[in-house]
Amino acid sequence: MLNYKSGRLPSLPMVAQKILALNMDNDRDQDALVPAICQCPVTTARIVAMANSAGYGVPGHTVTSVKEAVQRIGLRKAYNSALASALFSMGKQTGKNRLNRDRLWAHNTEVTRVMREIALCLPAVARPTEADIALTGLLHDMGFIIYDALEPTASTDFFKELSKETGDLKALSLQIFEITHEEVGAEVLKLWGIPENIVEAVRHHHDVHSKRGKLSALVVVAEALLRFSDFGYERHAQAISDADVARLLDIDIAQVVVIVGELRKKGLPVIM
């Protein structure tokens, strides 16, 4: 079985260590976030790109600095997004059949956006915080990074087989690693001290049958609705019905139709 206990994990990237050590309730640590982000070119580029994306961008004005990007995104969301980006570089390997981390980041970013847009359609009292949505969406597939970091050779075989038409995510995960990416991702995030509500949402992000709170429901629904998008994983996400969405989000089916329609109007490639 894949040994994910802390002693076997690759060292956390230095930027991730610095970000994890920051307390966003402390003024001094808040001021330290931008310099920490700037130490990683990839994370810097992702935070600036996020600030200029459809969800945050302002027509006619392009953000070019991390400081301005953090101001536009918001401190908590910028912190969580930067942390997720830094964690994505853990144990990075190269190879023809290895995990395409840029593609996975694009997928997770798209899932995060859909989660946020769906949440805006829910009553305010039922919405998770935007910071929790961001961290859950960006880290929900962290298990793939753990596979890649801990077992480079097995990971190459795994992603090669997964790319085939007959590749089955759960079956291959259990065959090669004896643990699913949902479970190992959740367990490692728990070891790192990520909040329990986010850990549990990651653990159950393919479970369309159980209700486990709004944060979990949002990532389940977003992942399923995006399974046919350019960055989706159609063979790996559960199909979902309008009845499933209604049950998970505690809304009626008529609202589901409205929400899906609104997502499409905003250019999001969702499909039931």
Q: How far apart are CA 65 and CA 73, in angstroms?
A: 12
Q: Tokens 């942390």 appear where?
A: 83
pLDDT of residue 96: 54
Domains of the chain: 11-90 (no CATH), 94-272 (1.10.3210.10)
Q: How far apart are CA 117 and CA 262, in angstroms?
A: 9
For residues 54, 56, 61, 67, the Cα torsion angle rounded to the nearest 10 degrees is -140
Q: Tokens 């920490």 appear where?
A: 36
Q: How far apart are CA 116 and CA 130, in angstroms?
A: 7
* CA-derived radius of gyration, the chain: 18
Work out the angle at residue 111's Cα, subtended by the Cα atoms of residues 56 and 238, and round it to the nearest 5 degrees. Answer: 165
Is the separation of the CB atoms in 37 and 58 below 8 Å? no
pLDDT (tens digit, 0 to 9) for every residue of the chain, 272 residues total?
677 665 567 677 888 989 989 988 888 889 999 999 999 999 999 999 999 987 776 777 899 999 999 999 999 989 999 999 999 888 766 555 567 888 889 999 999 999 999 999 999 998 999 889 999 999 999 999 999 888 888 888 888 888 776 667 888 899 999 999 999 999 999 888 889 999 999 999 999 888 888 999 999 999 999 988 877 665 566 778 999 999 999 999 999 999 999 999 988 888 87
Neighbour count for residue 191 (Cβ, 10 Å): 13
Kind and range of the H or E run holding 159: helix 152-162
Please tell me the pTM assigned to this model. Answer: 0.87
Burial degree of 269 (CB within 10 A; 0-12, 13-18, 19+): middle
Is the separation of the CB atoms in 176 and 157 below 8 Å? yes
